[in-house]
Structure 1
Amino acid sequence: MPQPSKTLACFFGLLAALGAQSQTKPAAKSETPDDASVIRVDTRLVVLHCAVTDRGGKQITNLTADQFKVLENGVQQPIKLFRREDIPVSLGIVIDNSGSMRDKRQRVEAAAIQLVKASNPQDEVFVVNFNEDAYLDVPFTNDIQKLEEGVARIDSHGGTAFRDAVSMSIDHLKQEGKKDKKVLLVITDGNDTASTVMTLEKLVEKAHKSDVLIYNIGIFGKDDKRDEKKARRAMDALSRASGGLSYYPGSIEEVEAIARQVAHDIRNQYVIAYSPLNQQLDGSFRQIKVSTTGSRYSVRHRTGYYASPEAPVRRQQVSLNN
């Protein structure tokens, strides 16, 4: 099986009472007498989607909350929510449609459909194709036939606007995605030659702020190692920041198997949420490190977040008897 690049970051989101950062404030009173022992509070939570693997790369899915430790800027944080659950996601499939992809499109299209078929049946999926420009070719749907038709009607030509396509897809996920967990899979074969929207550094910052997991598949030839190095740098930076992975198959034939790996990764992760001890919403970047007891396993998760007042607020029930 192809191996992912060593970009540790993590992935799985959860519908329940989750947001992105931290601060608690009282909300409305209980609405019925049966709820007399419960109050409701609006809580800002940092939500982490964590994949745990052993030294051989096998995913570990049977750990408990007390086996994890979460540090924010080096300070241990109390875990407020812990689950491992396969939940529906809002998924964007972003496919390079430049001229150099013409001979690879059939395999790439098959891989995109494999990803959808191996994912949660309740997922919603959209497709963006890009060359010098990025286009939303298939809006959110869970209809396999519509997705197959959408990825098959493309005519490959032009250059590669990788950053523009990722930026647009993040925006679409945040604006239109109905699921709490949001994921991008980007498939490309070359270095960015046409983006105009933002630098790589700004795009990485946007990924940190978005809580969107980014997976990349880079299908490179042997002609220009310098361009490949630049492309890998961009993909690794985005997957590492967001909690996803970047894959670099040795041949186009491996892409379908990688797509199935991505689907498996999405469906077998832990959700860990905490309300930070530092409750200042000052816009600063907070670095996160998650580990397991005994250090036998590697934990992949997003590397941090921005403590912003714009973070979503979720409602959480708290028992008065606790």
Structure 2
Amino acid sequence: MPIARTFLASLTAVLATAVHAQPVFRSAIDVVTVPVTVTAADTTRRVGELGRADFRIYEDGRRQELTLVSHQPRALSLCILLDSSPSMASGRQVLAIRAIDTILQGLKTDDEATMHFFAGKVRTAFPWTLAPALRPVSWIEWRLSLGTALIDALKEGLHQVEQARNPLPVILVVSDGGENASGTSLAGLVATRKQSETLIYGIQTDLTPSRYAPNVNRAFANFLPQVVGDSGGMTHRIRTPEAAETAALALLEEWRSQYVLGFTPKDGPDGKYRALKVEAVDPNLAVRHRAGYLASPSK
């Protein structure tokens, strides 16, 4: 027993010394990352590689110290929300299929995707699936039905993001932009930090509405820009299959070429929304990014 007690006492002392000797790191949970799309005002100019000295970042108007600037592609978790209302008939389906097939075929090995149809209700086409296991979409199962619950679909997309495994969560809405059936309001839709960090993009099928489409409230006739909002994404408007493919390839390129900026906020998590602003030091460069995030601890 005395030997055992002596051993335990010695071990405790060694462990205590080791703990005190360890350098203290702040938890990665405090680090906020911001995907940034950088473009040149002169489209013929190549942006080139940028570093920490090329950006300024602010949180609620206070400048923050950048601790990370990365230009490495990140694995993508892509949630596709596809409008299945009657207004997608008469050519819009062809555009949507071309865009979605192009994107799914362009995914990398570590990427994953899920797709959901929405009309009056939201239903799953396929769950989260790694890119190598994705099968060609069975478009014969894409049946149009009444209603356009675009906001309800976005709510489901944000719920799906919570189950995503990759560091770059993206929601892509493919629609004509109508909304007339949701039971959810857009205000207060984002409930978690991960949801607030999700990029939302739109592909808008921009054709003359089908004569079979039901009447849509004019206030909701082009709701897609509000859905994309200030998430850091953008909307591509397409009118031809060739434009659909071009838009899809442009999205893939953007997701692969974004910069990721990181900083540790001066204030700890408080669960409140915080505004973000990123500037490029070079006035000839434009940056696009999300407008803020919920300052709750990330999981």
* 1:208 Cα offset (Å): 8.4
DSSP-derived class of the 1:149 partner: coil
Distance (whole Å) between structure 2 residues aligned to residue 85 and residue 226 of structure 1: 43
Distance 1:223 1:89, change over 3 A: closer
Aligned: 1:179 with 2:166: yes
TM-score using structure 2 length: 0.81
User: Which residue matches 2:206?
Assistant: 220
Distance (whole Å) between structure 2 residues aligned to residue 275 and residue 54 of structure 1: 28
Match of 2:275 among 270, 273, 287: 287
Say if 2:114 and 2:126, in contact at 8 Å, map to a contact too: yes
Distance (whole Å) between structure 1 residues aligned to residue 193 and residue 217 of structure 2: 23
User: Which residue matches 1:85?
Assistant: 72
Aligned: 1:297 with 2:285: yes
User: Which residue matches 1:202?
Assistant: 188
User: Which residue matches 2:104?
Assistant: 116
CA RMSD of aligned residues (A): 2.8
DSSP-derived class of the 2:63 partner: strand
Distance 1:243 1:102, change over 3 A: same
Instruction: For 1:71-150, list aligned pairs within 5 A.
Output: 71-103=58-90, 104-143=92-131, 146-150=134-138
The code of the aligned residue for 1:62 comes to E
The code of the aligned residue for 1:112 comes to I
The code of the aligned residue for 1:304 comes to G
Aligned: 1:155 with 2:143: yes
Distance 1:156 1:226, change over 3 A: closer
Distance (whole Å) between structure 1 residues aligned to residue 203 and residue 292 of structure 2: 23
Distance (whole Å) between structure 2 residues aligned to residue 54 and residue 292 of structure 1: 11
Aligned: 1:54 with 2:40: yes
- Give the percent of matched residue pairs that are identical in Structure 1 and Structure 2: 25
After superposition, what is the alpha-carbon deviation per residue over 1:6-63, rounded to whole angstroms, capped at 9, x for unaligned?
A: xxxxxxxxxxxxxxxxxxxxxxxx9xx9xx7754441311110000011145773511
Distance (whole Å) between structure 2 residues aligned to residue 227 and residue 45 of structure 1: 43
Say which structure, 1 or 2, has more relative contact order (CA 8 Å, 6+ apart).
1
TM-score using structure 1 length: 0.76
Say if 2:200 and 2:228, in contact at 8 Å, map to a contact too: yes
DSSP-derived class of the 1:294 partner: coil
Distance (whole Å) between structure 1 residues aligned to residue 131 and residue 167 of structure 2: 20
After superposition, what is the alpha-carbon deviation per residue over 1:271-314, rounded to whole angstroms, capped at 9, x for unaligned?
A: 111111122x3333211110111321111110011223xx216x
* 1:148 Cα offset (Å): 2.1
**Structure index of larger Rg:** 2
Say if 2:94 and 2:241, in contact at 8 Å, map to a contact too: no
DSSP-derived class of the 1:202 partner: coil
DSSP-derived class of the 2:87 partner: helix
User: Which residue matches 2:27?
Assistant: 42
Corresponding pairs, count: 274
After superposition, what is the alpha-carbon deviation per residue over 1:108-149, rounded to whole angstroms, capped at 9, x for unaligned?
A: 122112112223232111111111011111011235784423
User: Which residue matches 2:267?
Assistant: 278
More divergent stretch after superposition (139-148 vs 292-301): 139-148
